[in-house]
């Protein structure tokens, strides 16, 4: 299961290996270029943006767009639409909604995955298929009826409504991944635990769950990123800073009369930071989880 | 494969000490929280829009009347819709295959990378971390004809101004949205395929090496068939995602100009929300979703079959 | 400052992403010249209709448009509160799209909890249709309305009632480069405009003869104003679409011809207002129609290459001997659900008073009251800006003679959304003008039928 085995174990790297790595770095650099450009745009003077001929190397760097976004004092005349945006509230909403909904989708998805992996029951295939179908429906097809429903339930423009929505969006994929992870755990371990006198519940908690944790990390990444970045439903359910998240707020940087690319880039970078931290922390578990068998079949 | 379905054999069920009654109830109990959430957020809205698709519903009109199959009949003679439908299928096919090919190449290189794999992976996953709306905005800007990154690059490289209207011309508009979608979707492919490659047992490769197999031969006859399930999974998931494609395209071109890049969901959106014809939009959603359902069904029938049946 | 065209307003429907576009409107306020004058103190004005403390203890709730310059007007509210004893509470402040989205949702769901709301000449019809507004003729006498530019007031009469009290408006005029053409070349007709634009196109210098915003309501609206100048109408008296008439075809053909001739930037189908204004400021456009709202931006040498190098002219005429004049105005309405209508009316009178108008005129808005216009035109005579007086006189003339809203029906924007993609196809040469407009007319007829315009519904 290790990468070393894939090349020959213990072989000393040859020049070809370095060339191959160089090619990899180059490709990844190409993928990274747009990100780099966004970061660069966010820290350069407005005058250098949208020019023809282009200015590639910034002549000076400035954090004005970030300061405007965060409501910190800026030099006279610094332009940015970020000042219209209650960044703190959006950040709070986004963080709460993404993390709480991830937690719940993991919990619900784990339970469902366990049911799929360890039990044979009538209607199992239909339920599984039904869950996958839910993923085929795009947000805009749900948005109006969901708005109507949430308005009746008093859930529109609320953090709770957003959490419920994202839990539902993420449960199917989580359940599917978790099913794979549980099936990769030999049932004999369960049996051993049960023979040792564990209840089924404690066998689940002590044996299956710890072994499935890397899988949960993998599912967690996907659930978190979905909740962090979803737009169509957030745009409908949230109406005010009380529950509005980052993605709909991006629209506030662009208009028919004036746009603020730099401000949007700054906000993009700010949005990216928590995601990067999260992914960097769990990417190792992600690979462990995915290699352990979730995808096999 | 060591996957064992516990309850398939009565002996094991006894180990779990599940009464017949409990065996029926327990899995449903475990599924309930997830299903409730899905019922509220997905099932109810789908039923509701199903109902609306038989009316002349419009948000600014206080009264709504039943119009029977009118919306559906109109839809079948709507050339724009079917063009958008066909374009969506083409878009999906091209995108998923491009993502797969590029993703497989990167995954191969990643799996063998000597150092910095964790960092590389994090960097590579950045497009996945971008909100699709953000990708839309940024790529729209990159492809701007006057001051976009792409035309500016051409300017610098050739020394002459190029005012290529990327988002306007045929087929450049389609290609532009394809590039954005592929950029965003490829990292997911890489992650899944790399996991597949990393999960391969070492022995067959060592044996092949002893036999003097070339790198290509090893890839062709060992890696590729052995990561089959991973390929299948990755492509199935991306296909579902691409069938829903909306955010990126809506921002980059909005389906335009004219209907040059119109995909199903941009068209539905324009009709339902900006054209105030929500009812027809619902009918279109329904036809599209049913097609997606069939598609999903065929994709996942295989998954189901290999997972729980005939695997004892 | 213009906000008339909120093209993306479609979004608002309830699902709108809207927020974006109208930020625009709000940001106009930060444009350099306009902002500078904001601090000047408006002359005090004793408001005749107010009786001391007549609304003691009343709370008037308000849904308002917001953004730098829009909010300036609200600073005169405390004075009204002091006089009347009432209190004003802002339930919601947002840009035009957010506000419209909120109104549509609230009227549909019956969740209106405010007395006064922002309104707009292009938007109010849908609120009337949703039965959300109070007719205003009972609250405002003809005498009180006499000072307002008549066309502005008439633009909000519908079904025999008055629905909106205007605050300020915007309209377009020809902006042309004095270094590229002479004043004697200013086109009288759209035919002349077309030939001139082709003639002024100079690829070697990177000059396009003209341009239009190329999508959404921005495009439909320009088409509308050219077509009406050519003598066409969007609808006949039975509300059947008639824009596929020869006048409509002629208007659409003009756009297509200009594009095919390379007289417009190739990316124009993706332009919104910001793009066209930036192009003009970048010096790559010779002559085009633009809203007055951008004036101070164009005259600011730090932002614009055409400062001091352009002039303004009335919109051309067409074969119908009518000047184009697509326009719109912002204003205020009272909600039907309001429990405090007398106080709401009093507040609107205060906000649209001479005092309110003078304050907004100083910010660069084109205001609604004629008496204020007379005053600022006299003041402009002493301005250092040679165009200042001409600009105001032209705008006033246009408001009095050319001001033309889109049809006062809730279906204008849905119709625009059917029309503009087809106009784009015509411009790009994907479809013949006649065929495209016929097709659009067919779709619009279908929509109107569904909306119940032709009797028996669908």
Residue pLDDT tens, chain A, 297 long? 444 444 444 567 788 888 888 999 999 999 999 999 999 999 998 878 877 778 888 888 888 889 888 888 777 666 777 777 889 999 999 999 999 999 999 999 999 999 998 888 888 888 988 888 888 888 888 988 898 888 888 898 899 999 999 999 999 999 988 988 888 888 788 778 877 777 777 888 888 888 888 888 888 999 999 999 999 999 888 877 889 999 998 888 876 566 788 999 999 999 999 999 988 888 888 888 888 765 554
Same domain, B134 and B272: yes
Q: In this structure, is residue B266 part of a structural domain?
A: yes
Domain extents in chain A: 10-83, 85-294
Residue C148: phi and psi, rounded to 5, are -75, 145
With a pLDDT cut of 70, the percent of chain C lying above it is: 88
| Residue from C23, C31, C212, C305 to probe the interface with A (highest A Cβ count within 10 Å) | C23
Q: Measure the CA dihedral C354/C357/C359/C362, to 10°.
A: -120
Same domain, B19 and B103: no
What stretch of H or E contains B193? helix B172-198
Same domain, B32 and B174: no
Same domain, B29 and B171: no
Contact assessment for residue C156 and residue C133, using Cβ atoms and an 8 Å cutoff: no
Same domain, B34 and B91: no
CA–CA gap between residue C175 and residue C280 (Å, rounded): 9
Task: Tell me: pLDDT of B6 over 60.
Answer: no
Task: Give chain C's contact residues with A (Cβ, < 8 Å).
Answer: 2-3, 5-8, 14-28, 30, 67, 92, 102, 109, 111, 213, 218, 272-274, 277, 293
Taking the model in full, what pTM does it have? 0.84
Number of domains present in the structure of chain C: 1
Residue C346: phi and psi, rounded to 5, are -60, -40
Helices A87-118 and A124-134, packing angle to 10 deg: 160
- Check residue A294 and give its pLDDT: 53
CA–CA gap between residue C445 and residue C236 (Å, rounded): 12
Chain C within 8 Å of B256 (Cβ-Cβ)? yes
Would the CB atoms of C23 and A254 count as touching at under 8 Å? yes
List chain A residues with CB under 8 Å of B283.
Answer: none
Residue C290: phi and psi, rounded to 5, are -145, 155
Same domain, B85 and B160: yes
Number of domains present in the structure of chain B: 2
Chain B within 8 Å of A135 (Cβ-Cβ)? yes
Same domain, B32 and B145: no
Chain B within 8 Å of A119 (Cβ-Cβ)? yes
Q: In this structure, is residue C158 part of a structural domain?
A: yes
Same domain, B85 and B47: no
CA distances from C403 to B253, C189, C374 (A): 32, 17, 18
Same domain, B83 and B160: yes
Q: In this structure, is residue C97 part of a structural domain?
A: yes
Same domain, B234 and B188: yes
Would the CB atoms of B253 and C270 count as touching at under 8 Å? yes
State the smallest CA–CA distance between residue C217 and chain A in angstroms.
11
Sign of CA dihedral C52, C54, C56, C58: negative
Residue C122: phi and psi, rounded to 5, are -85, -10
Enumerate residues 32 to 71 of chain B having a beta carbon within 8 A of any beta carbon in chain C: 56, 58-62, 65, 67, 70
Q: What is the ipTM of this complex?
A: 0.89
State the smallest CA–CA distance between residue B48 and chain C in angstroms.
16
Res. C51 pLDDT band, cuts 50 70 90: low
CA–CA gap between residue B44 and residue B38 (Å, rounded): 9
What tens digit of pLDDT does each residue of A17-50 get? 888 889 999 999 999 999 999 999 999 988 788 7
Would the CB atoms of A255 and C18 count as touching at under 8 Å? no
Would the CB atoms of C266 and B163 count as touching at under 8 Å? yes
Q: In this structure, is residue C292 part of a structural domain?
A: no
Q: Which residues of C187-224 are buried (b: 16+ CB within 10 A; e: fewer)?
A: bebbbebbebbeebbeeeeebbbbbbbbbbbbbbbbbb
What's the CATH code of the domain at B110?
Answer: 1.10.3720.10
Contact assessment for residue B266 and residue B255, using Cβ atoms and an 8 Å cutoff: yes
- Check residue B60 and give its pLDDT: 66
Would the CB atoms of B258 and C214 count as touching at under 8 Å? no
C332 forms bridges with which residues in the sheet?
C118, C165
Q: In this structure, is residue C378 part of a structural domain?
A: yes
Residues ≥6 apart with Cβ < 8 Å to C85: C52, C53, C54, C55, C56, C57, C58
Same domain, B161 and B226: yes
What's the CATH code of the domain at C26?
Answer: 3.40.190.10
What tens digit of pLDDT does each residue of C207-241 get? 999 999 998 889 999 999 999 999 999 999 999 99
Contact assessment for residue C302 and residue A285, using Cβ atoms and an 8 Å cutoff: no
What tens digit of pLDDT does each residue of B130-182 get? 999 999 999 999 998 888 899 989 988 988 888 889 999 889 999 999 999 99
Q: In this structure, is residue B102 part of a structural domain?
A: yes
What stretch of H or E contains C311? strand C310-313
Q: Name which of C364, C329, C2 is nearest C148 in CA terms.
A: C329
Domain that holds residue C154: 7-169+328-401
Residue C76: phi and psi, rounded to 5, are -90, 0
- Check residue C1 and give its pLDDT: 37
What tens digit of pLDDT does each residue of B96-137 get? 999 999 999 999 999 888 878 888 988 999 999 999 999 999
What are the respective helix, strand and coil percentages of chain C, to the nearest 5? Answer: 50, 15, 35
Q: According to DSSP H, which parts of A56-199 are helical?
A: 64-70, 87-118, 124-134, 139-153, 159-184, 187-195
With a pLDDT cut of 90, the percent of chain C lying above it is: 65
Enumerate residues 79 to 108 of chain C having a beta carbon within 8 A of any beta carbon in chain B: 104-105, 107-108
Q: In this structure, is residue B134 part of a structural domain?
A: yes
Interface size between B and C, measured as CB pairs under 8 A? 111
Domain that holds residue B279: 69-308
Chain C within 8 Å of B165 (Cβ-Cβ)? yes
Instruction: Identify the chains in contact with B, defined as 3+ C-beta pairs within 8 A.
Output: A, C
Superfamily of domain A85-294: MetI-like (1.10.3720.10)
Residue C331: phi and psi, rounded to 5, are -165, -165
What six digits make up the tokens of B138? 């940024």
Same domain, B118 and B199: yes
- Check residue B54 and give its pLDDT: 93
Could you say which of B146, B273, B276 has the minimum Cβ distance to residue C267? B146
């Amino acid at each position: 299961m290790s990468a070393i085995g894939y090349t020959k174990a213990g072989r000393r790297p040859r020049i070809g290996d370095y060339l191959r790595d160089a090619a990899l770095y180059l490709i990844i650099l190409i993928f990274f270029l747009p990100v780099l450009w966004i970061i660069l745009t966010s820290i350069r003077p407005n005058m250098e943006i949208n020019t023809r001929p282009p200015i590639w190397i910034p002549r000076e760097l400035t954090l004005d767009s970030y300061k405007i976004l965060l409501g910190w004092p800026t030099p006279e005349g610094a332009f940015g639409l970020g000042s219209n945006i209650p960044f703190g509230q959006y950040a709070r909403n986004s963080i709460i909604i993404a993390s709480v909904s991830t937690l719940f989708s993991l919990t619900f998805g784990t339970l469902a995955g366990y049911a799929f992996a360890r039990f044979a029951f009538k209607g199992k295939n239909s339920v599984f298929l039904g869950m996958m179908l839910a993923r085929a429906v795009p947000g805009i097809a749900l948005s109006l009826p969901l708005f109507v429903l949430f308005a009746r339930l008093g859930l529109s423009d609320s953090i709770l409504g957003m959490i419920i929505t994202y839990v539902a969006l993420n449960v199917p994929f989580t359940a599917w991944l978790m099913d794979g992870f549980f099936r990769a755990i030999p049932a004999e371990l369960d049996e051993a635990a049960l023979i040792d006198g564990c209840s089924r519940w404690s066998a689940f908690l002590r044996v299956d769950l710890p072994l499935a944790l890397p899988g949960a990390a993998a599912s967690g990444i996907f659930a978190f990123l979905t909740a962090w970045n979803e737009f169509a439903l957030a745009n409908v359910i949230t109406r005010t800073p009380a529950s509005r998240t980052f993605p709909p707020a991006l629209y506030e940087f662009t208009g028919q009369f004036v746009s603020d690319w730099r401000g949007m880039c700054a906000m993009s970078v700010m949005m990216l930071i928590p995601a990067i931290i999260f992914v960097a922390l769990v990417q190792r578990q992600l690979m462990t989880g995915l290699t352990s068998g979730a995808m096999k079949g | 494969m060591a996957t064992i379905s516990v309850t398939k054999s009565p002996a094991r069920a006894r180990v779990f000490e599940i009464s017949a009654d409990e065996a029926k109830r327990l899995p449903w109990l475990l599924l309930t929280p997830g299903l409730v959430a899905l019922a509220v957020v997905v099932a109810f809205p789908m039923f509701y829009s199903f109902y609306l698709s038989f009316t002349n519903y419009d948000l600014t009109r206080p009264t709504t009347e039943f119009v029977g199959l009118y919306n559906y009949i109109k839809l079948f003679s709507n050339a724009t819709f079917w063009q958008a439908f066909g374009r969506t299928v083409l878009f999906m096919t091209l995108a998923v295959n491009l993502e797969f090919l590029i993703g497989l190449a990167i995954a191969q290189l990643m799996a063998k990378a000597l150092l910095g794999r964790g960092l590389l992976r994090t960097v590579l996953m950045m497009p996945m971390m971008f909100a699709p709306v953000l990708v839309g905005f940024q790529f729209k800007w990159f492809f701007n004809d006057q001051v976009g990154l792409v035309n500016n690059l051409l300017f610098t490289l050739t020394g002459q101004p190029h005012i290529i209207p990327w988002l306007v011309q045929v087929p450049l508009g389609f290609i532009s949205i394809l590039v954005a979608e592929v950029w965003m979707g490829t990292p997911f492919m890489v992650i899944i395929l790399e996991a597949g490659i990393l999960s391969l047992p070492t022995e067959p490769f060592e044996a092949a090496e002893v036999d003097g197999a070339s790198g290509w031969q090893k890839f062709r006859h060992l890696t590729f068939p052995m990561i089959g399930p991973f390929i299948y999974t990755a492509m199935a998931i991306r296909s579902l995602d691409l069938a829903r494609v909306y955010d990126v395209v809506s921002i980059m071109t909005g389906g335009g100009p004219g209907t040059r890049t119109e995909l199903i969901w941009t068209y539905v959106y324009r009709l339902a929300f900006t054209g105030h014809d929500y009812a027809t939009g619902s009918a279109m959603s329904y036809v599209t979703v049913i097609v997606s359902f069939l598609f999903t069904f065929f994709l996942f029938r295989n998954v189901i079959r290999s997972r729980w049946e005939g695997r004892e | 400052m213009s906000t008339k065209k909120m093209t993306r307003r479609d979004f608002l429907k309830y699902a709108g992403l809207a927020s974006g576009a109208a930020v625009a409107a709000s940001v106009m306020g930060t444009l350099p010249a306009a902002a500078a004058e904001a601090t000047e103190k408006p002359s005090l004005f004793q408001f005749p209709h107010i009786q001391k403390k007549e609304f003691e203890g009343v709370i008037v709730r308000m849904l308002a448009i917001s953004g730098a310059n829009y909010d300036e007007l609200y600073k005169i509210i405390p004075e009204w509160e002091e006089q009347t004893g009432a209190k004003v509470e802002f339930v919601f402040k947002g840009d035009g799209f957010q506000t419209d989205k909120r109104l549509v949702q609230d009227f549909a769901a019956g969740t209106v909890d405010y007395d006064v709301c922002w309104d707009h000449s292009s938007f109010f019809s849908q609120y009337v249709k949703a039965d959300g507004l109070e007719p205003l003729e009972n609250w405002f006498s003809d005498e009180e309305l006499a000072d307002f530019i008549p066309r502005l007031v008439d633009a909000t009469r519908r079904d025999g009632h008055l629905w909106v009290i205007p605050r300020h408006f915007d309209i377009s005029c020809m902006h042309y480069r004095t270094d590229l053409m002479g004043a004697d070349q200013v086109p009288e007709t759209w035919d002349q405009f077309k030939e001139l634009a082709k003639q002024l196109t100079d690829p070697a210098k990177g000059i396009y003869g003209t341009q239009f915003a190329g999508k959404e309501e921005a495009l439909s609206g320009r088409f509308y104003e050219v077509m009406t100048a050519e003598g066409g109408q969007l609808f006949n008296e039975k509300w059947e679409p008639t824009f596929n008439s020869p006048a409509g075809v002629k208007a659409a053909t003009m756009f297509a011809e200009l594009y095919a001739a390379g007289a417009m930037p190739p990316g124009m189908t993706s332009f919104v207002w910001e793009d066209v204004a930036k192009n003009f400021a970048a010096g790559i456009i010779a002559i085009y129609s633009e809203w007055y709202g951008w004036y101070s931006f164009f005259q600011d040498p730090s932002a614009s290459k055409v400062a001091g190098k352009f002039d303004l002219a009335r919109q051309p005429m067409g074969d119908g001997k009518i000047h184009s004049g697509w326009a719109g105005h912002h204003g205020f309405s009272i909600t039907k659900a309001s429990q405090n209508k007398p106080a709401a009316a009093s507040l609107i009178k205060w906000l649209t008073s001479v005092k309110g108008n003078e304050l907004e005129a100083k910010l660069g808005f084109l205001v609604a009251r004629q008496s204020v216009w007379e005053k600022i035109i006299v003041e402009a005579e002493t301005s250092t800006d040679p165009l200042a007086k001409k600009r105001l006189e032209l705008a006033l003339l246009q408001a009095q003679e050319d001001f033309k809203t889109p049809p006062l029906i809730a279906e204008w924007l849905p119709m625009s959304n059917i029309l503009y993609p087809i106009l784009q196809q015509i411009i790009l040469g994907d479809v013949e003008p006649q065929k495209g407009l016929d097709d659009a007319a067919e779709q619009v007829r279908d929509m109107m039928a569904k909306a119940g315009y032709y009797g028996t519904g669908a």
